[in-house]
Structure 1
Amino acid sequence: MSVVARASRIRTICDIQEKFRNGIFEFPKLVATADKMVRAAKLLNIPTFITTQSRAKLGNTVPELASNLTGDHIRADVDKTLFSMITPEIEKQLPVKAKDPLDVIIVGIETHICVTQTTLDLLARGHRVYVLVDGVSSINPEERGIALSRLRDAGATVTSSESVLFELLGDASHEQFRSISQLVKETKEETKGALGVFSRI
Structure 2
Amino acid sequence: MPTDLINRDTSFLVVVDLQERLAPAIAEFDRVLASAMALVQAAEVMGVPVIFTEHCAAKVGPTVPTLLEAAPSAPVLHKTHFGTLEEMEHQKTFAEFSGRRPIVCGTETHVCVLQTLFGFLQHGFSPLLATDACGSRREADKATGIARMVNAGAEAVTTEMVIFEWLRRADNDLFRKVHPIIKAL
Secondary structure (helix, strand or coil) at the match of 1:41 reads helix
Contact 2:13 2:102 in 1 (8 A): yes
Aligned with residue 31 of structure 2, among 23, 29, 41? 29
Pairwise CA distance, 1:162: 0.3
Pairwise CA distance, 1:173: 4.8
Task: Output one character per residue of 1:107-152: Cα deviation in whole Å (capped at 9) or x when no partner.
Answer: 1000001110111111122212111111001111110111111111
Aligned counterpart, 2:12: 10
Distance 2:172 2:47 in 1: 13
Quickly say closer, same or farther: Cα 1:90–1:175, change in 2 above 3 A: farther
Q: How many residues align?
A: 182
Secondary structure (helix, strand or coil) at the match of 1:18 reads coil
Contact 1:7 1:103 in 2 (8 A): no
Pairwise CA distance, 1:36: 1.0
Aligned counterpart, 1:88: 88
Deviating more after overlay: 31-40 vs 82-91: 82-91
Where does structure 2 lack aligned partners over 5 or more consecutive residues? none
With normalisation by structure 1, the TM-score equals 0.83
For residue 111 of structure 2, what is the amino acid of its counterpart?
I
Aligned counterpart, 1:172: 170
Quickly say closer, same or farther: Cα 1:173–1:126, change in 2 above 3 A: farther
Please give the root-mean-square deviation of Cα atoms over the aligned residues, in Å: 2.0
Secondary structure (helix, strand or coil) at the match of 1:131 reads strand
Pairwise CA distance, 1:27: 1.1
For residue 37 of structure 1, what is the amino acid of its counterpart?
L
Where has structure 1 moved over 6 Å in runs of 4 or more? none
Where does structure 1 lack aligned partners over 5 or more consecutive residues? 192-201
Pairwise CA distance, 1:34: 1.2
Deviating more after overlay: 130-139 vs 165-174: 165-174
For residue 122 of structure 2, what is the amino acid of its counterpart?
A
For residue 17 of structure 2, what is the amino acid of its counterpart?
D
